[in-house]
Amino acid sequence: MRDETFLHLRAAGTSLVLDCTGNGLPRVVHWGEDLGELSQGALAALTRAGVPQVASNNVDVVVPVGVLPEHSAGWLGTPGLTGHRAGADFSTAFAVTSLETADRAVTVTAEDVRAELELRIEIELTESGLVRQRATVTSQAEAGTAPFSLSGVLLTLPVPERATELLDMTGRHLRERTPQRHEFTIGTHLRENRKGRTGTDAATVHVAGERGFGFRSGEVWGLHVAWSGNQRSLAERTHAGVSLLGGGELLLAGEIALGPDEAYTTPWVYGAYGRTGLDELAARFHGYLRGRESHPRSARPVTLNVWEAVYFNHDLAKLKELADLAAEVGAERFVLDDGWFRGRRDDHAGLGDWYVDEEVWPDGLHPLVDHVRKHGLEFGLWVEPEMVNPNSDLARSHPEWILATGDRLPPESRHQQVLDLGHPEAYAYILERLDALVTEYALTYLKWDHNRDLVEAGHSPTGQAGVHAQTHAVYRLLDELRARHPRLEIESCSSGGGRVDLGILERTDRVWTSDCIDALERQRIQRWTGLLLPPELLGSHVGAPEAHTTGRTHTLGFRAGTALFGHFGIEWDLTRASEADRAALGEWIKLYKELRPLLHTGTVVRGDHPDPALWVHGVVASDGARAVYTLAQVATSVASPPGLVRLPGLDPDGDYRVRPLPPGDVRRPAWDALAWWAEGVTLPGRVLEKVGVRAPIQFPERLVLIEAVRV
């Protein structure tokens, strides 16, 4: 049946060794550092060398743990497939019927004759060294047989015993991607999301690693579920010495009932390995994303979004003035945010009525669009197509289009409910409205928002759970709209960063990283969102001097220097900015335009600086010729003056000229004692990474930029 009983997939310093002997599902023998060329004999020996003894008071055979673990094999941890057919067939026992291999990929087909199920598992190793898996379960039962009620499919990857510490993310609105770490002890660390979207508190990447791992040190293994609806991920360690990471969609009761020949396919589940810390793990995700055909290739335009400038108060004269000033400072895209459609004077009404408000815009949006385009700026529009206000013509006309249990509405959030896109007529209405708007105004950009969690999301009138269908409908809607308008770019915004995952990013061009653009908060949010996404996918804007969400006041240099390491934009009422501030902002925009070829293609690096008050991060060109770093003082340091700062990621054998980079080179009189600061210094890359340069004395919530150029 198989030419090779052991498969060895290799890419970018990663090896994945699969044991495909026997009729059971493939087992992962090794996932981690590249093992080099190995013969079938060596792979067999490697497998034998790792077989444990049978433990006392356990089953009398060694328990194989496949990529989809099975209770029938003696596995008593979290099962890979859960479900039943009228109460029976709760425990599957799949036997492999075929195995197809391609370059760095394998497809396994298996069946459980008793349960009348077929299982197809696809396993790939991407060019950047990511492992990705997905499974398809198909019912082979005849007509008249009870459907198979599927409640979950979990795909797993093992990690070694030396991975003793876990890292994942939590958070909330305005504070997304907050890291949390703890011991990887025996038991299950389970992260479940039932919000109907990825969630502001999503695990994002579930990481296991050696104790004390950092950005530049320690072996790490991470898992990401590429799905924008309910999901779960887990890290599990058993008393029998098995440790694994696993993930998949979280299915609500009754969402998947497979009749004859009906199938369910899981989202892709990604695994990333880093031999030398989190930066290497992140680089695999970044490399994969940048290698997609759909990845944005054009220079990421400087975007002015008007939300924090005008909110719902749309006034043509004010908006035209904003467009004038946007062009003056060097913006390239103008986005009209919430408030342009019928009845939308605040967030209590209007969602669903996707027609330009005739009272506010008697001539439509054309006067503004024309004015914006005279400046050579692109024009974009905010929409929230998945939501509906009860106070809207749409909700009054079609209450059956609201996701609900059938006899009651869920609690409102931001005065809105969720439109059931699984309803064919609701889907058709939204597609027609979006298509019409993009066509009439030749839009090149949509800021696609999603401002509430899904609570009791059921199809009316039956009340059947509908999150799975809703997520697929959103994907279809995005795909169809992009097919009709190939030049259209879409931002995934969901109360800011509530929908950040590789499923939505197959269909969108960036994420709105957070509704909070307080630069201090953004330093952390962007730092940890970068574990999954490269800078060009992170919407990062310069806000007003006083942050609207926190009330903090920051210098323009701190705000703009923070936004620099993302897809740069402006979220500031420029009509209230002084001429000097606008001129300074223009200098930062010039720097962004000059640096974006580097920032949006280079390798992201972050330093493991011992002082938690001083963060170091940067981007190094793929050829190592140039790098730009930020030294960000996020709090006061215990010690003063600060110590040496190491600059990671440079060519160890190259000599680099290191110097401050304007306009992020703000000086203080106390820095005059820094011998290298004014003139720069030339050192080998290995010295800059292993020893470093003296950091300038900084006040809290300040930053400086440093450039390193190979000479």
User: What's the pLDDT tens digit per position in 132-154?
Assistant: 999 999 999 999 999 999 999 99
pLDDT over 50 (residue 165): yes
How far is CA 60 from each of CA 53, 74, 677, rounded to the nearest angstrom? 10, 9, 69
- Segment 362-387 shows an average pLDDT of 98
pLDDT over 80 (residue 271): yes
pLDDT over 90 (residue 671): no
Residues 228-269: pLDDT tens digits?
A: 999 999 999 999 999 999 999 999 999 999 999 999 999 999
Give the confidence band of 699 by pLDDT, cuts at 50, 70, 90.
confident
The number of angstroms, rounded, from the C-alpha of 43 to the middle of its chain's C-alpha atoms is 35
Rg (CA), the chain: 27
Report the CATH number at residue 314: 3.20.20.70
Residues 618 and 593 in one domain: no
Give the confidence band of 3 by pLDDT, cuts at 50, 70, 90.
low
Contact criterion met (CB below 8 Å) for 529 and 501:
no
Contact criterion met (CB below 8 Å) for 140 and 58:
no
How far is CA 476 from each of CA 41, 149, 258, 266, 270, rounded to the nearest angstrom? 47, 25, 21, 16, 22
How far is CA 125 from each of CA 289, 560, 577, 622, rounded to the nearest angstrom? 14, 38, 50, 22
Residues ≥6 apart with Cβ < 8 Å to 148: 83, 84, 85, 89, 115, 116, 117, 137, 139, 141, 257, 258
In-domain check, residue 573: yes
Percent of the chain scoring above 90 in pLDDT: 95
d(CA 510, CA 521): 19
684's enclosing H/E stretch is strand 681-684
Report the CATH number at residue 84: 2.70.98.60
pLDDT at 640: 86
The number of angstroms, rounded, from the C-alpha of 35 to the middle of its chain's C-alpha atoms is 30
Residues 214-228: pLDDT tens digits?
A: 999 999 999 999 999
Q: 201 lies in which domain range? A: 6-290
pLDDT at 641: 85
Give the confidence band of 639 by pLDDT, cuts at 50, 70, 90.
confident
The values of phi and psi at residue 272, to 5°, are: -125, 135
Residues 450 and 560 in one domain: yes
In-domain check, residue 182: yes
Percent of the chain scoring above 70 in pLDDT: 99
- Selection from 670, 634, 667 nearest residue 558 by Cα: 634
- Segment 52-56 shows an average pLDDT of 91
pLDDT at 50: 95
Residues 333 and 440 in one domain: yes
Give the confidence band of 462 by pLDDT, cuts at 50, 70, 90.
confident
pLDDT over 90 (residue 179): yes
The values of phi and psi at residue 687, to 5°, are: -75, -40
d(CA 543, CA 559): 7
**Cβ density class 517-539: b for 16+ within 10 Å, e for less:** bbbbbbbbbbbbbbbbbbbbbbb
Final residue in a domain of this structure, among 268, 290, 312: 290
Instruction: Determine the Cα angle at 226 with ends 224 and 229, to 5°.
Output: 115
Report the CATH number at residue 700: 2.60.40.1180
d(CA 272, CA 582): 42
The three-state (H, E, C) secondary structure of 139-203, written as one string: ECCCCCCCCEEEEEECEEEECCCCCCEEEEEECCCCCCCEEEEEECCCEEEEEEECCCCCCCCCC
Query: In what side-by-side order are the strands of the sheet with 614-620?
Result: 603-606, 614-620, 626-633, 702-710, 655-660, 681-684
Final residue in a domain of this structure, among 264, 290, 316: 290
Residues 29 and 164 in one domain: yes
In-domain check, residue 414: no
**Cβ density class 376-394: b for 16+ within 10 Å, e for less:** ebbbbbbbbbbbbbbbbeb
319's enclosing H/E stretch is helix 316-329
Residues 278 and 314 in one domain: no
Burial level of 483, CB count in 10 A (0-12/13-18/19+)? exposed
Residues 39 and 144 in one domain: yes
- Tokens coding 283: 């680089």
pLDDT over 90 (residue 278): yes
Q: Which residue has the tokens 């990333």?
A: 272
Residues 72-118: pLDDT tens digits?
A: 999 999 999 999 999 999 999 999 999 999 999 999 999 999 999 99
- Least-confidence region, from 58-62, 519-523, 559-563: 58-62
Residues 549 and 689 in one domain: no
Final residue in a domain of this structure, among 231, 255, 290: 290
pLDDT over 90 (residue 510): yes
The secondary structure of residue 365, as a DSSP letter, is T
The values of phi and psi at residue 456, to 5°, are: 50, 50
Residues 313 and 274 in one domain: no
- Selection from 82, 102, 101 nearest residue 92 by Cα: 82
End-to-end CA distance of the chain: 58
β-pair type (131-139, 148-153): unpaired
In-domain check, residue 474: no
Number of domains in the chain: 3
pLDDT over 90 (residue 626): yes
Contact criterion met (CB below 8 Å) for 420 and 470:
yes
d(CA 326, CA 542): 12
pLDDT at 675: 86
In-domain check, residue 380: yes
pLDDT over 70 (residue 10): yes
The values of phi and psi at residue 109, to 5°, are: -115, 135
In-domain check, residue 267: yes
d(CA 509, CA 504): 9
Residues 90 and 186 in one domain: yes
Residues 274 and 225 in one domain: yes
- Least-confidence region, from 375-379, 450-454, 666-670: 666-670
In-domain check, residue 149: yes
Contact criterion met (CB below 8 Å) for 27 and 64:
yes
Residues 306-345: pLDDT tens digits?
A: 999 999 999 999 999 999 999 999 999 999 999 999 999 9
d(CA 137, CA 156): 16
- Selection from 621, 566, 599 nearest residue 302 by Cα: 566
Residues 613 and 683 in one domain: yes
- Least-confidence region, from 200-214, 531-545, 688-702: 688-702
Give the confidence band of 1 by pLDDT, cuts at 50, 70, 90.
very low
Q: Which residues are catalytic?
A: 449, 515
In-domain check, residue 688: yes
Residues 509 and 530 in one domain: yes
